[in-house]
Structure 1
Amino acid sequence: MNRLVEIRSQEYLCRERAALDTQRKGFWLSQAEEWEKRALDEIASHFRECNLNWSDLPSIPH
């Protein structure tokens, strides 16, 4: 999950930069969107891993 924190930090920096750099606002917002997509991919990957690990566990009879 450290990777997710790093990705979100980059996204935040790009959004902050967009607010300060009005001439290149569009560029910084598009960069932020790219980082946001990476964050969503990272989250999805984490959940896929968790689901694989759960499927390895033996079934518990009810």
Structure 2
Amino acid sequence: MAKSITTAFDGRLEAQDRLTQAGGSIGYKKGKPVFQFPTKKEYDEYLRLGAEAYKRKVGLA
């Protein structure tokens, strides 16, 4: 079974939008919100979407 991925919570709306686009969700760990992804595939998609957004922001795409 694939191991889930947890990463730091990001309060920005655009990051949360990428989270849902990639198939992740917001969960809680020790009472603090975190981003959770069921597999590395979804986490990698979240990172890819973030990289694309950054490239558009700085004019590289």
TM-score (structure 2 length as normaliser) = 0.43
Higher helix share: 1
Higher strand share: 2
Larger Rg: 1
Q: TM-score, normalised by structure 1?
A: 0.42
